[in-house]
Structure 1
């Protein structure tokens, strides 16, 4: 591995699915798995392609019961490029002897490459070099280049270039009982002798998808006039290009591809658009150069240099590359959310969850226009969220736990436990905390950007309707003189209901209730930020009364938060009454207990009975809010926040958490940054390695985890560098300085680009003149300095890396406080 490359020097069928996910190539519009072009979908390989918004619904009959699911559709396979020698079977990895093999991934370009030398059944030795990219310069463009060298033979070869619309969704084993057919054929077509095309339509959502491919062959830089033949069916088309090759002389094959859907702008029809565009595309080399230039521009603002921690630097860059494959400037031009598993797999059916909570902080400070576009995905579904709230008897907007095409609830009603083989009821739609995450995301975007226009036109309405939902979901308990919320699930997910209850949901989940108290306090501040005319117009249109505002104020002071008698925040009311689990026994019996819920259910046990957590949602409070902010929140509610509350609560849940979600590793690494830096860094490393090492034992091949990849980037900037916006100032409070020595990265604060670096005990911030929007204020501790265009400032830091200290920074007086970003 180099600074920007990952390489595998052997072919391993058992890990091929994982490698295909990790070496995907995409541009924020569509993404294709890193499958070898010559392989078909089987138990080893899966050539999937996915585009933002490409959803379709199908119904499956399970035991006589109709089950409706919406999936991100696997689109026609444009990779098809196969080699046939002397009329024999097409070359596959399984039917040749590999003399040498390398599968590599250029992180800087999101380009997948293979070089293999093989011996076929006739003892012919051939070298095949393959390079492939999905263009970051042109959203609809992709390209494949083959360099073919016959090493010890001369003869006749055929190159098969195809477009395959016969694909289905069949990647995830536990979904195989569900309907996977999503495409109906429309028509194949040719655009001249070199270009083939195909058009399909999704079966329910009526989205047209068209792909066109121009395939050419070159020898010594000149085009080869090869013999071509065509074969087409209603859902498949291929060209066979036949030519003679000579021992030791290379020929080069180029396949340039375009992909369009009927969701695209400025087209008359998808098939015509695909054909027209591919005919205009330059050759592979020129297209690759444009692609590389677009990525270079992105790396200028997104790169992370940490030279003294080379493995960490590599994986951070790997994560940056994957985040940008899913969320780029191309994404902002489409109606797109953030699929929890990116665009390179079918896990979670391509749905949008709360994982955006972990994705946006990195984008907010580098490519805020992308965050803005992604937040509009939620705004455009506000009407559906309002309808969902009304149908459930609430006011305001109730967003779904799983969102897809139109913002209706896509959470399945049954879920397959792969350990037991049973379909269990699924209550996870009760995770209403997704509404709180959306509110939080809008607020943090505003703080980082000062985008008052977005707040005025979209954000405020979104936030006020979410606050209104929580006000109607809560009820006042006069015996406690507190507001309570019942019937919800927290991020934990292992507790869906109380033991023995048929009713889903829990009472007074601490994470949810504290978030709602914060929302109730913040929403009026949002109103005050609006121009008077817009404030009054919005209140009139929403019918937002003074009585409602008074209720919000009461909720911000009287939400109920459950505590254990020893002062630990309870995960939910009644958590303390649950049974303790024999953790030692389960760790001894199982090599991996992350999905402890499935293990228990397979044994006939009920996870709801025990004090355990997939990811301790109470700990999330310490992740999203600084100690000072949480102390203020709890103080406003009338609860004590003693100096040991953080350590005490985190330690309690750490011992009862299986970390079944990789997001849990991010959360615990963040909250331990000041308390236990060594443990924090250890968990940070596990989170960094989680996808590339597939720590969950097979899930990454179903799609990378966007939350953990972006969460590790946020950990670095928010907890280890300590970036934090309060009162219009960007503060830094670095920790783990011995690990961060040599760190260099870029940020954008309120429109002004910054370059941040740490060297020894010095933190330097430079305001770059290019793109400068105006002076910004930067602070370390109590010292705040203003930077103009081209200005830089240096702060001297303490080398302490132990637990937080009020005088942790030599220039600081007082402890860290404010909205932590």
Structure 2
């Protein structure tokens, strides 16, 4: 565990600069507005170790899958997010010497990400010979005007002599990725002028779109502009200041960023840039910042979770929500969550099953239902791609991808691409979760019924019937626990497949006649689905009274994870893959994930036996793991374990628990803090009859916690303190809830 920022309720702030932690600082101070985002790298060139990264929503590149063991059905390409053109670049020359914090002498350093206002500031005093200059950098990505990036730099002469400061502001297309093909350049410049640059991603052989992006820059400053320079790859605008002692100067940089996702051709991009820049030109920096802050204030008013008595827990909770909101807020149904969001290149930046399993339950509670519905529509609109994926594997129906930008599977790991097929049922479960929570059935009886039907057809084809056991089985899969590959009868996968078929039978029986005709489910099909439901094999050990994670799991050497030497943790960074696969150690909740999904369907004794067995074997090396175990621990009144795992999920990145945050934040795992508090500590449940219930407890080390929850047209505020629980209706019609087993009317 490594803590490099101070404990503050609303700030991610440090007054220390340690080059060894540069990448961690960059990850943890990332910004985004759903449309674009960037790591917290410096505006100016830094000659030390750094991972600069700017990313544009929905802009990606298909790299050829390069493996020597090509097999039929393997994805043709690996889709990955690409580093966008660097439009925040600004270099500073002080009395002829370039500013570079890797080599310069400086003090009074501060780096501060303000979570409340989504602004990043950095300040320091640098000494170069007789010159002593204080710098303050400010930046934000507007949520009021999604295409707009704003920066402001103020510098003051603290020395006794006049200082010459030259500012070279640039838009630079000479960028690279640091992944497998780091030596490639993905951007080809189409047009370049002193104030704008248009570039296109290079051609590919797979028929996926080439993306164009246009960036127009303007400066607001009293500095004298002395040059405008363009090269084949870069715009440079140069300004100079002659600062007398104590004098200061400010330069503001505004960049409008547009892409071919919204504009059809180069001419349209150019027009859009011009119009957007003209729109913001009359507004001051303060005006633009105020509009941005007002929207963030609305978001926090609806979603903030307040914790008294534990500032580390409070900071972690808000950092999580901030990471989610900077990645996705439902403004564009074509976009989704990437596991790293706009904070790094790892995982390709694409959509995973994390969205349905983890993001949907959170967004149902903190945003309007149409925002979550957009996540469902995202999958519906990619149904054609799911048909392609299933066909490539020789299966019927639809197979939703494990990793995708456009609905087509684009991951290059066998155990992910081919085997982790539980994601199909996670998509179905999200439809159920949305319907149960909102009470709205229009989606499930129309678009959702088509998704469910085609997923059901996949499962009906993917199972096989064991003559020996007289049951249906699913062989050759990987469950949520990715430390177990190519197993037979993963309990979670089988359970969810059975449930999906059952739920599909139930919901498709309720659709209107014209929709039923569109689905074209035959009676023979329905009978086959019902037979699978009735005869699905689910591994179970009668002696231990637990659901066996998969066939043969209990034959392993079941040594608890607590006996792994500390210097061998995390095992995924210290052990061979062979050793991990042979071990009993669980990366993340698998059986426990299934129990959380259907928590009302299991007795307390069943939950206890399974938790007590599987948690000691779980190393929590998936960022998604701690929250699930925290919820079940809370449900079982294991308060200390629930709080321990909350702290791990809420501060996973801030404390770098898994030693892997330097390449980006675990955005989808940032759902964990909210889930652990609301589903766990507060015991929130929405039962199948639509009843909203709570069974809260207050962690011993906390004095109070409070959160607001959106539910069926209402906003409800729940406060838990040492005097008990108070539930208020903030907005909407009266509602009867259940609190600690008793009905309570909110009005």
TM-score normalised by L of structure 2: 0.92
Unaligned runs of 5+ in 2: 1-6
Query: Are the aligned partners of 1:729 and 1:776 in contact in 2 as well (CA < 8 Å)?
Result: no
State the partner residue of 2:627. Answer: 666
1:563 counterpart (525, 540, 544): 540
Are 1:243 and 2:238 matched, yes or no?
no
2:188 counterpart (184, 188, 211): 184
The 5 Å alignment of 1:606-645 reads: 606-626=579-599, 628-630=600-602, 644-645=605-606
Q: 1:761 to 1:64 in 2, by over 3 A?
A: closer
Query: Are the aligned partners of 1:436 and 1:519 in contact in 2 as well (CA < 8 Å)?
Result: yes
Please identify, of 723-732 and 425-434, the stretch whose mean Cα deviation from structure 2 is larger: 425-434
The 5 Å alignment of 1:575-654 reads: 575-580=553-558, 586-587=564-565, 590-595=567-572, 599-601=575-577, 605-626=578-599, 628-630=600-602, 644-654=605-615
- Secondary structure in structure 2 of the residue aligned to 1:39: coil
The 5 Å alignment of 1:451-470 reads: 451-470=440-459
The 5 Å alignment of 1:506-517 reads: 506-517=487-498
2:158 counterpart (142, 151, 176): 151
CA distance in 1, matches of 2:571, 2:285: 45
2:655 counterpart (693, 700, 713): 693
Q: Could you list the structure 1 runs, at least 4 aligned residues long, displaced by more than 6 angstroms after superposition.
A: 62-67
Query: Are the aligned partners of 1:562 and 1:569 in contact in 2 as well (CA < 8 Å)?
Result: yes
Query: Are the aligned partners of 2:112 and 2:122 in contact in 1 as well (CA < 8 Å)?
Result: yes
Are 1:21 and 2:10 matched, yes or no?
no
CA distance in 1, matches of 2:394, 2:199: 44
* 1:473 to partner: Cα distance: 1.2
CA distance in 2, matches of 1:347, 1:370: 26
Are 1:49 and 2:58 matched, yes or no?
no
CA distance in 1, matches of 2:586, 2:450: 34
- Secondary structure in structure 2 of the residue aligned to 1:453: coil
Root mean square deviation, CA, Å? 2.4
Unaligned runs of 5+ in 1: 219-223, 414-424, 497-504, 632-642, 792-821
- Secondary structure in structure 1 of the residue aligned to 2:340: coil
State the partner residue of 2:4. Answer: none
State the partner residue of 1:74. Answer: 83
CA distance in 2, matches of 1:178, 1:111: 30
Query: Are the aligned partners of 2:639 and 2:699 in contact in 1 as well (CA < 8 Å)?
Result: no
Query: Are the aligned partners of 1:594 and 1:659 in contact in 2 as well (CA < 8 Å)?
Result: no
* 1:781 to partner: Cα distance: 4.2
* 1:131 to partner: Cα distance: 0.8
- Secondary structure in structure 1 of the residue aligned to 2:533: helix
* 1:445 to partner: Cα distance: 1.5
The 5 Å alignment of 1:221-240 reads: 224=223, 226-240=224-238
State the partner residue of 1:125. Answer: 132
- Secondary structure in structure 2 of the residue aligned to 1:395: coil
* 1:71 to partner: Cα distance: 0.9
Please identify, of 545-554 and 252-261, the stretch whose mean Cα deviation from structure 2 is larger: 545-554
Are 1:214 and 2:218 matched, yes or no?
yes
Aligned residues: 724
Where relative contact order (Cα < 8 A, 6+ residues apart) is larger, the structure is 2
2:478 counterpart (481, 489, 496): 489
* 1:106 to partner: Cα distance: 0.3
State the partner residue of 2:522. Answer: 545
State the partner residue of 1:221. Answer: none
* 1:363 to partner: Cα distance: 0.8
Question: Cα deviations across residues 36-88 of structure 1 (Å, max 9, x unaligned)?
Answer: 11135x652222111221111123766798984221111101111111123x2
Are 1:751 and 2:710 matched, yes or no?
no
State the partner residue of 2:362. Answer: 362
Are 1:574 and 2:535 matched, yes or no?
no
Q: 1:458 to 1:228 in 2, by over 3 A?
A: farther
CA distance in 1, matches of 2:326, 2:354: 16
Question: Cα deviations across residues 541-561 of structure 1 (Å, max 9, x unaligned)?
Answer: 222122222333333332111
- Secondary structure in structure 1 of the residue aligned to 2:570: coil
The 5 Å alignment of 1:335-354 reads: 335-354=334-353
Query: Are the aligned partners of 1:366 and 1:746 in contact in 2 as well (CA < 8 Å)?
Result: yes
State the partner residue of 2:736. Answer: 777
